[in-house]
Structure formats: C-alpha cells, structure tokens
Amino acid sequence: MITVTNLEKSYGPVKAVSDVSFHVGAGEVVGLLGPNGAGKTTLMQMLTGFLQADSGTVTIDGLDVVDETLEVQTRIGYLLENAPLYPEASVQSHLKMIADLRRVPKSDQPRLISRAIRAASLEEHLTRPIGQLSKGFRQRVGLAQSILHDPKVLILDEPTVGLDPTQIVESRRLIKRLAQNTTILLSTHILSEVEAVCDRAIILLNGQVRADARLAELAANDGAILVLDESAGDVTADLLALDEVKAVEPGESAEGRAYRVLGREHADLRPAIYALAKEKDWPLRELGRDLRTLERVFNDLVASSGDMDDEAKVKDIIPDPGDVEIPSKNGDIELTEDDAPSEEEL
C-alpha cells in the first residue's frame, strides 16, 4: 500500500532523511517512532506529496506521489500535528466545507459526513463553533476531516500531542476503530503510543531507519537474566566459556549480583546457564529470559547512534523476567447506525 525506496531529503548541509526504505501493507497499523528532530515530519510531508524528495520514490496504492500527486491525495487522509481548522465554523459546517473542497459528490456527502462524525464521536457537538471545543475535540474534528473522503491510507502526525490522559485513551480507541478498514501510518515520539495501537514499529534516528519489525520481534531477545545472592568468583568468564554465549553484562539488582547474558543464536540459554550454576555451586536466586521493552530497544538504538546524551536516556535497569507486556488490541468500541445523525441534521 505504501512503498518508500531510497528516499533522501537535505536542507543545505543537513540531511533530514537519508536513504529511507520501507513498505506498509494493506491493513497494517505501523508506528513511525523517533525523537524530535529525527526526520519524521519531513518524511510524512514527502509521503503525502506536500514536499518533494531530493531522490528516491514513494508510491501509495501503486501510484507515484510525485507524478500523480492529486490522485494520491484522494486516497490518503493526513492529520497534521496541529490540524488547520476554522474556529468560527461549527463542526457540521466545517466538515461540509471540507467535503466541497475535496469535491465529494453532493449525493455522497450526507453519508460520508455522517460516517466521519460517528467515527470521531462528534454527534453531540455538531453545532458548536470549533473554537469553543477542547483540544481533544478539535483533534477529533481534524481526524474527521482527514477520513471524510473515505481514504485507503491514513497518515497521522503526532495525533495525541497536547491531549490530557483521558483524551489520549479516547484517541487511541478511535485510531484502533479506524484501523479495522484503513491502512495507518502513525508518527510519534511517544513509545506507549506505538505499543498501544500499532502492529509494527519503524524507528527513525538521524534521518535513517534503524529498526523495522513487529513489536513482538523487537521485544524478542536471545538472552537471559541471571541473579546471584552474592558474588561467586569470575562468573563473567565462566559464562563466556559457554559456546552459546556471545556477551555478558554484569550489573546490580535489588536482589543481588545480576548478569545479562546475550546468546549467539535463537536459543534458550537458561538450561546451559542452570547446568553451569549447579556445577559451580553458585548462590542462584533467579534465572529467566531477558525480555526487552520497546523503550529499551529504542534507548539502545539512540545510545548507539549518539542521538541523545546519557542523562536524557531513560535509565535501563535489568528487568524482572516476565515483567514486560505488549498491550492487546482488544477493547475496540463498536459503533451502531443508531448513533448516526440523520441527513436532515446535516
């Protein structure tokens, strides 16, 4: 549905996007994750045809964004971080105006406007001026206008920025509802946002793709956590002597002396480590899989890229095995036709 190939964009000597390539399939919900200044917004603008790349290509639904810009823009909905809205207009009249600007046929407007209003849960605010709405409801109006023309692809740039916790939860539910029928690319610097609504994450640092995988794959790790009650000789050297082990990172935990053990292959290191602990008579307190959070993956990549100083990084202490949970994608709210405003209301 979205194919990006060797995309590049520079501003003078600064390379904002460098050799970026990825593919988003139909029906996927993909998070574009990166710190501020990573190149996310520049990339979004090139995907939507509002900014031309220096080199590389973007196709959406098989259409080239540069050669067929207008046709591409009929197939995408684009929600800016601060969506352009008319504060004096009512929600209803604003959406009617957007439908006219997008040349939605008059015969289709009542149905499509009604659907957008229901999807964004704006039924109780149709006649209110947009300027009197809260930040969260203005964001909903922006989302409603981005899906008004029934796009195949929805591109969201920081969709929950500035919202309070309740509004964030409601916005995430709305995005998950829309994902049932739409391909979604969501740009954010908020890790929990990606974990809550996305199937897959693309991590962008310094304008380059540093990781691209499903969340479960990013969390997977060929390693183990070993915790001993007390020091027991040269544990690191003994662990490195195992054929399956490629690295050992000693540290401390609340329970005692801790070691993060990294494996060479996709294998469970625990049986070999347990056998070694038994042979060496180590005071074993805990042995488990090393489960990574998206936060830890992100911080490891940022640290290796030099994109953030040590004080700015979230401290990464050795986690308790089994403490990581990827949020499920259940809990979507069902909408019924009874919720729809009538054509007369529109």
| Least confident residue range of 58-72, 216-230, 309-323 | 309-323
Query: For residue 142, what are its two tokens?
Result: 């922006």
Distances (CA, A) of 91 to 26, 36, 144, 258, 342: 31, 31, 10, 57, 15
Residue 132 C-beta-side C-alpha neighbours within 13 Å: 9
Averaged pLDDT for residues 323-342: 40
- C-beta of residue 277 within 8 angstroms of C-beta of residue 226: yes
Exposed, middle or buried, 67 (CB in 10 Å: 0-12/13-18/19+)?
A: exposed
Please report where in the chains the tokens 């946002």 appear, as a residue.
193
Three-state SS at 61: coil
- Contact at 8 Å (CB) between 211 and 301? yes
pLDDT in tens, 99-111: 999 899 999 999 9
Residues 61-88, mean pLDDT to the nearest whole number: 90
* Mean pLDDT, rounded, for 311-328: 31
Second CATH level (architecture) for the domain 222-290: 2-Layer Sandwich (3.30)
- The pLDDT assigned to 221 comes to 66
Confidence of residue 82 (pLDDT cuts 50, 70, 90): confident
> Which token pair is 228?
């001993």
Fold of 2-75+151-217: Rossmann fold (3.40.50)
| pLDDT band at residue 320 under the 50/70/90 scheme | very low
- Pair of tokens at residue 281: 């008579």
85, 138, 224 from 88: Cα distances, Å? 9, 12, 59
pLDDT at residue 112, rounded to an integer: 94
Output the pLDDT for position 203: 92
pTM over 0.85: no
Stretch among 38-52, 276-290, 311-325 having the lowest mean pLDDT? 311-325
Q: Domain residues of the chain, as ranges? A: 2-75+151-217, 222-290
Query: What's residue 177's pLDDT?
Result: 85
Q: Kindly write down the DSSP assignment for every residue of 203-227, as one continuous string.
A: EEETTEEEEEEEHHHHH--SEEEEE
Q: How confident is the model at residue 339, as a pLDDT?
A: 45
Per-residue pLDDT at 61 exceeds 90: yes
Cβ(79)–Cβ(88) below 8 Å: no
| Cβ–Cβ under 8 Å, residues 31 and 193 | yes
What Cα–Cα distance (Å) separates residue 96 from each residue in 44, 104, 123, 124?
A: 26, 10, 15, 17
